[in-house]
Structure 1
């Protein structure tokens, strides 16, 4: 074989290889583009409102703390009952937990409470009137002042 023939063959193979790569590359790009697609969804977003309100004996609705009135002035042993209302001012259900009473340590645990008619949940804009009875024990320290706080926890999830 002559040198010219080998050079011609190498040149022809190089040109054929470059042409094959070019064809495959362009064909691959076209194939990839032909199989690409997408769809998009969009919308306005607004989160739910969660707001539990309370009122005492027909009063206005408040977030709290809500004044229980004069019922605890000159307190003596016995029971004091209040009608308290809860309103779900939310856009979702409010699941009610067990009420919690915190009493000033100066009162030596002499005040406890019980709740009647507390539902497990309230629908949006629903409300309920409940009776809360504060039990004042005989061992209430005389001439002692302090604070008490009654809390009704609620959650948007069970």
Structure 2
């Protein structure tokens, strides 16, 4: 089982959106049982909360499930529990490095690292920009490319 963790600041906007979009892609590609996704936040401010209403609205619009998603804070054990840790922006990537105990072997990257010639290197936080549509566009593009990368790297 290949495990992917999406990370953002509070785990209510970007990372749960990426988790839901990625899970939907995995299901559509008949890879359920081979690839699994989760998400977490650097901070614990929203632990236990569902995704932000803006995220839920976009996922509903595209009929992507999210009902079971609840915010959680990332921790050191995530490094050993996941194969890929995918940050939404450079600060999230740096923050994940600081929670590393170097024991895990997860590959750390930003989601937009998988997109050739991306419009943005970081996915803007719609909690602050209120532009959930743009965030969704970037996340969808990034998740599609990430899945291609994982399939190629793992021969699935």
In terms of Rg, which structure is larger? 1
Q: Which has the higher strand share?
A: 1
TM-score, normalized by length of structure 2? 0.23
Relative contact order, CA 8 A, sep 6+: which one is greater? 2
Q: Which has the higher helix share?
A: 2
TM-score, normalized by length of structure 1? 0.23
